Amino acid sequence: MENLKKKVSVIMPAYNEAERIASSIDETARTLNGFSWLWELILIDDGSTDRTYEKALEASLRYPQQVFVRRNPFNQGKGRAIKKAFHYTSGDYVVFLDADLELHPIQLEAMFNIMHLNNADIVIGSKLHPNSIVNYPLVRRIISFAYYLLVKILFNLPCHDTQTGLKLFKAKALGRVFHRILVKEFAFDLEVLVNAHHLGYRIAEAPIVLNTQKRYGRITSWHIYTALWDTLAVFYRMRILRYYDRIDYYRRKNLGQEFRRMHREMSGT
């Protein structure tokens, strides 16, 4: 794998993961050390109501130079948590990794190889990749495929699965995208990828190994409704309002005004 001397920042959002968060931190650290990478792990506790934060802090003491724990005072959604954690990263690459480790970080090496071979800026794990090995309920498979069809119709993204919780980004690409992102919950990943694709960043998919233990009964009609609503909102902002293009325009305009103000102050005019 190339760029071993560059640093990898892993963002791990967590919510009510007290029972396994310490083992997830240890397993991630062990795996990343096995790659001989420069790395850091930013764990963001999103307002857990159990002892996730305290147990994560205890585990982080074993890796004082590499594992950093932050928290939101209350639950704000996975997307908001990841955006907050991004401000603490210092790596050349950024990884999104779910705290349950149902997608093991050992798969990151293959994702870096795919990034190099495809000259990609983003590599996402995909349950729908033909080489993926997945074991999850039929109802979830149906939901995933139906959502892929909807996303394909609305956005024509060059990928099949926007929601799998293992993603690799070049930090510069993610930094350019994140100020555009509004969604806090289920369609956060979609909004990131839609904007990255719109800005011309190259997205590649990687096969994954997934053997889920989750009880997918926790996904309710409300979750599905919220995801659909957020997805249509992203489409409305992108295709109808052209909001994402305008926010870049106003951001550049405001930065230009600030630069001119600073120049006047420094020149005394």
CATH of the domain at 202: 3.90.550.10
Position 135 scores a pLDDT of 86
Position 262 scores a pLDDT of 44
Q: Find, among 201, 131, 182, 184, the residue nearest to 161 by Cα.
A: 131
Position 263 scores a pLDDT of 41
Distances (CA, A) of 191 to 79, 135, 142: 10, 27, 22
Mode of pairing for the β-strands spanning 166-170 and 203-207: unpaired
The structure tokens listed for 258 are 């600030």
Distances (CA, A) of 177 to 20, 173, 183: 32, 6, 13
Residue 232 lies in a domain: yes
Residue 75 lies in a domain: yes
Position 234 scores a pLDDT of 96
Domain that holds residue 111: 7-267
Residue 46, H or E segment: strand 38-46
Produce one character per residue of 228-264: b if its CB has 16 or more CB atoms within 10 Å, e if not: eebbebbbebbeeeebbeeeeeeeeeeeeeeeeeeee
Position 218 scores a pLDDT of 55
Count of structural domains, the chain: 1
Residue 52 lies in a domain: yes
The structure tokens listed for 96 are 């999104």
Residue 39 lies in a domain: yes
CB 162 within 8 A of CB 126: no
Q: Find, among 151, 197, 185, 178, the residue nearest to 247 by Cα.
A: 178
| Distance of alpha carbon 191 from alpha carbon 161, whole angstroms | 13
| Distance of alpha carbon 105 from alpha carbon 97, whole angstroms | 8
Collapsing DSSP to helix, strand or coil, 116 comes out as helix
Residue 125 lies in a domain: yes
Mode of pairing for the β-strands spanning 67-72 and 38-46: parallel
CA-CA-CA-CA dihedral for 206, 151, 87, 114, to nearest 10: 20
Environment class of residue 106 by beta-carbon count within 10 Å: exposed (0-12), middle (13-18) or buried (19+)? middle
Single pTM value for the model: 0.89
Residue 2 lies in a domain: no
- The 10s digit of each residue's pLDDT in 6-41 is 899 999 999 999 999 999 999 999 999 999 899 999
Position 215 scores a pLDDT of 47
Residue 229 lies in a domain: yes
Termini Cα distance of the chain:
53
Residue 1, H or E segment: none
Residue 151 lies in a domain: yes
What residue ranges of the chain have pLDDT lower than 50? 3, 215-217, 255, 258-260, 262-263, 265-267, 269
